[in-house]
Amino acid sequence: MDPRQQLLTDWVRQFSGLEQAMAEPVSGDASFRRYFRVWRAAGEVQPTPLIVMDAPPAHEDCKPFVAIARHWHRQGVMVPEILQADLDQGFLLLQDFGDSLMLDQLTEASADQLYRGALTELVHIQQLSAPDQYPLPPYDAALLDREMALFPDWLLEQYLGLELGNCERALLDTAFAFLRESALAQPEVTVHRDYHSRNLLVQPGTNRPGVIDFQDAVTGPVTYDAVSLLKDCYIRWPEQTLCDWLEFFRVQSAEAGLHRADPDTFRQWFELMGMQRHLKAAGIFARLCLRDGKQGYLADIPRTVGYLVTASRRQPALRHFHEWLVGVVMPAIEQRIGPAPFAEQAPE
């Protein structure tokens, strides 16, 4: 047991029913946070599972998570209830939503119901105000630019070893400006910012997902979270299926008063927002490998950049960027990692 896990175990044992608790590792994520499961006895016939989050204060700030979780929980969003918190040590005791990630439960038969449930929950989240004690940061031009810069900085130069000259830099600057302007033109809502199949947990007896990993929420573009879910970096769906789900979300979010966009406008917002997110995600996956030693995310880079290739092909204003992706970037990725899984097949 490492020192942090021992500290966490000692902390959780002060609470009723947890005096003999043993912290069992559940998972880590792309940050420094780790999660453990403990069991509360308290005289119950069936012990209750709970989750303990370990967020080292030197690397993680729990305050946004706590503020957002408490506010969203009061507003009826299915986020874990916070049962105990020690912000100085970086420990939280949380309601346990189980281990049934949406990604692991997706099949051709289950997908439609799961996605429509997740999109309905998303519309609920988008309508929420910011917590009283934590104004959500804006998804502004500076943040959009910092995220897109991860693509050349970490994937192209540091991981793939590509040399970017003045022409390539100008090409990227033009593409980034186009994507930034589209994002900033969209109506603003509450944005989860990582709303995808690995951060949604299937709950027994309801079509509503348990929502986790929301601490980076901001106020930003109405299509951002829909992109995270429907153009997921971890699974790809057939085009017509994606279009059906997107139209379902467009209608629901319009009826909620979040925008007044027609299908073509909304789809254009969605496509360009997706490019911004996939530039960011591809760069983060490379950074997780190079900086943090987490090589498992490399396998998701070909799919993620594959989304960029598909989306840029549909944009006349990004023709040169598309040609460069196809002619330079994708061959480098295929040589270093492997081909993009372009086949649009639903899981068995």
What are the tens digits of pLDDT across the range 138-167? 999 999 999 999 999 999 999 999 999 999
Q: Is the pLDDT of residue 106 over 60?
A: yes
β partners of residue 218: 191
pLDDT averaged over every residue in the chain: 94
Q: Distance between CA atoms of 307 and 327, rounded to whole angstroms?
A: 15
> What average pLDDT does the segment 296-304 reach?
95
Question: Poorest-confidence range of 30-39, 54-63, 153-162, 216-225?
Answer: 30-39
Q: Distance between CA atoms of 345 and 195, rounded to whole angstroms?
A: 22
Neighbours of 338 (CB within 10 A): 12
Closest C-alpha among 340, 343, 319 to residue 331: 340
> What average pLDDT does the segment 46-50 reach?
88
- Write down the pTM of the prediction: 0.92
> Where is 191: in which H helix or E strand?
strand 188-191
Q: Distance between CA atoms of 139 and 298, rounded to whole angstroms?
A: 26
Q: For the chain, what is the largest distance between any 2 Cα atoms, rounded to a whole number of angstroms?
A: 69
Q: What is the pLDDT of residue 343?
A: 41
Question: Poorest-confidence range of 4-8, 70-74, 205-209, 340-344?
Answer: 340-344
| Percentage of the chain exceeding pLDDT 70 | 95
User: What pLDDT, in 10s, does the model give residues 189-214?
Assistant: 999 999 999 999 999 999 999 999 99
212: its two tokens: 């986790």
Number of residues written out for the chain: 348
> Could you tell me where the DSSP H helices lie in the chain?
3-12, 63-74, 102-105, 111-126, 141-150, 166-185, 224-230, 239-255, 263-290, 301-313, 319-324, 330-336
Do 8 and 23 meet the contact criterion of CB atoms below 8 Å apart?
yes
**Predicted confidence band of residue 346 (pLDDT cuts 50, 70, 90):** very low
β partners of residue 222: none
Q: What is the distance, to the nearest Å, from the Cα of residue 26 to the centroid of all Cα atoms in its chain? A: 19
Q: Distance between CA atoms of 162 and 149, rounded to whole angstroms?
A: 15
> What average pLDDT does the segment 55-67 reach?
93
Do 261 and 271 meet the contact criterion of CB atoms below 8 Å apart?
no
> What average pLDDT does the segment 319-345 reach?
86
Q: What amino acid is encoded at 133 in this protein?
A: Q
> What average pLDDT does the segment 213-235 reach?
97
Neighbours of 177 (CB within 10 A): 13
User: What pLDDT, in 10s, does the model give residues 234-293?
Assistant: 999 999 999 999 999 999 999 999 999 999 999 999 999 999 999 999 999 999 999 999
Q: Is 45 helix (H, G, I), strand (E, B) or coil?
A: coil
| Percentage of the chain exceeding pLDDT 90 | 89
**Predicted confidence band of residue 35 (pLDDT cuts 50, 70, 90):** very high
Torsion, Cα 307 310 315 318, to 10 degrees, reads 70
**Distance in Å from the first CA to the final CA of the chain:** 39
Closest C-alpha among 189, 220, 78, 74 to residue 126: 189
**Predicted confidence band of residue 43 (pLDDT cuts 50, 70, 90):** low
Residue with tokens 């997110």: 277
Q: What is the pLDDT of residue 42?
A: 59
Helix 239-255 vs helix 111-126: angle between axes, to the nearest 10 degrees? Answer: 30
DSSP 58: T
Distance (Å) of CA 228 to CA 104, 191, 276, 281, 319: 17, 11, 11, 10, 24
**Predicted confidence band of residue 30 (pLDDT cuts 50, 70, 90):** low
The alpha carbon dihedral of 53, 60, 125, 211 has a sign of negative
Q: What is the pLDDT of residue 345?
A: 41
Between residues 277 and 41, the one the model is more confident about: 277
Q: What is the distance, to the nearest Å, from the Cα of residue 195 to the centroid of all Cα atoms in its chain? A: 4
Do 197 and 209 meet the contact criterion of CB atoms below 8 Å apart?
no
